[in-house]
Amino acid sequence: MPPRPFRIEGYVIVSADGMIATAEGVMPDALKIEADQRFFHASLDHAGALAHGRHSQETDARAPQRRRVILTRRIAALAPDPRNAKAVWWNPAGASLEAAWDALGAPSGPLAVIGGTEVFGLFLAIGYDAFHLSRAGKVRLPGGRPVFPGVGPRAPEDFLAEHGLEPGPMQILDEAADATLCTWRRTADKGGSTGNT
């Protein structure tokens, strides 16, 4: 993989069966675990920009200050977001990720990928430097929306391993909720630090 001028890090919390939302695309309150939310929002404070689809977003008070790349098929390549001067719309079929990064002003810090399913899957192919996988072990969402296309029959960890990432130690976020966090890193980057963990 050619070097990039920025790191790519994924952030997600999944149910025990690897889902990020219900079949209707709603993230249930059971996945909103306070310790994970603190980790997630603190990590986004260190990101240069966020990447997500049109229906995925973070909801804390600092959200309007963050730069973001919004993935969409509604444009040919790149376009400024008419409602947000800190956002760029990006169609990966028409422009490179580097072009989208440059359109944001080449911010310093990693690109934080925050969903949904197709976006997480696209960046698997592009290549994560790290993927922060939280799991709510007591939550099941049968028929829900998976973190990656193909999750359900297979676990999210299978896809991360297939794409050259290795798991770090498991952290307990909330024992009562059986909530854990495991950061997966690209093999060549295992000793590196993101400043977020």
Q: What is the pLDDT of residues 81-121, one digit of tens each?
A: 999 999 999 999 999 999 999 999 989 999 999 999 999 99
pLDDT of 64 higher than 90: no
Confidence bin at 55 (pLDDT 50/70/90): confident
For the chain, the average pLDDT equals 91
> Contact, 144 vs 23, CB < 8 A?
yes
Per-residue pLDDT for 191 more than 90? no
Q: Do β-strands 111-113 and 49-53 pair in parallel, antiparallel, or remain unpaired?
A: parallel
What H or E segment, with its residue span, contains residue 166?
strand 165-174
CB atoms within 10 A of CB 167: 15
Task: Specify whether the CB–CB gap between 11 and 45 falls below 8 A.
Answer: no
Amino acid at 192: G
User: How many helices (H) and strands (E) in the chain?
Assistant: 4, 11
